[in-house]
């Protein structure tokens, strides 16, 4: 009897081990670039707040995976830009942040959004403005991106640097 239990437990451990390899997930994070993480909580908060701002009458419980991949892909590009700017010694200035805030507020056209969502968009746009305004660099962003460690939780897909998108996992 003890031997049979040992065999069953061993088989279960092996099954769980091998099945989890294909679906390994970093439960707390949707994505990571180097040491900087996009938490699942922040991803879900962003999506919830964006949908609430678009139509405050109803926020769906479930969203398509394409929307998640799009937001994660944008975050990865923004984070690579931020890290690239740091490596190149370029700071995101207060002028970048103010110009980004003004542009975001103009685009919103009076639509109420959460402080979290507004700040997220300002951070994104100010990094892109600093990148565009900095001029020539010693290396290209693409060369820098090739050297970075990028993780996307397989629940959402994988990062494809060649197209600059989070792609769905193959079925």
DSSP-assigned letters across all residues of the chain: -HHHHHHHHHHHHHHHHHHHHHT---TTEEEEETTEEEEHHHHHHHHHHHHHHH-TT---S---HHHHHHHHHHHHHHHHHHHHHHHHT----HHHHHHHHHHHHHHHTT----HHHHHHHHHHHHHHHHHHHS---SS-HHHHHHTS-EEE-TTT-EEETTTTEEEPPP-
pLDDT value of residue 61? 52
pLDDT, one tens digit per residue, over 101-120 is 999 999 988 888 899 999 99
Res 12 pLDDT > 50: no
Higher model confidence: residue 134 or residue 115? 115
* Percentage of residues in the chain having pLDDT higher than 90: 58
pLDDT, one tens digit per residue, over 58-100 is 545 556 778 889 999 999 999 999 999 999 999 999 999 999 9
Reported pTM:
0.78
Domains and CATH numbers, the chain: 2-167 (1.10.4030)
């Amino acid at each position: 009897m003890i031997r049979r239990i040992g065999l069953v437990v061993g088989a279960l451990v092996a099954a769980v081990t091998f099945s989890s390899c294909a679906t390994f997930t970093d439960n707390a994070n949707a994505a990571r670039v180097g040491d900087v993480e996009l938490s699942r909580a922040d991803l879900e908060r962003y999506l919830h707040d964006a949908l609430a701002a678009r139509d405050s009458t109803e926020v769906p419980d479930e969203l398509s995976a394409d929307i998640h991949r799009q937001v994660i892909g944008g975050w990865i590009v923004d984070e690579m830009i931020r890290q690239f700017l740091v490596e190149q010694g370029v700071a995101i200035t207060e002028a970048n942040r103010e110009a980004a805030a003004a542009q975001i507020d103009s685009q919103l056209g009076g639509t109420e959004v959460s402080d979290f969502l507004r700040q997220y968009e300002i951070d994104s746009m100010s990094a892109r403005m600093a990148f565009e305004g900095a001029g020539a660099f010693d290396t290209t962003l693409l060369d820098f991106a090739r050297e970075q460690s990028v993780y996307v939780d397989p629940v959402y897909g994988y990062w494809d640097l060649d197209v600059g998108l989070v792609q769905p996992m193959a079925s």
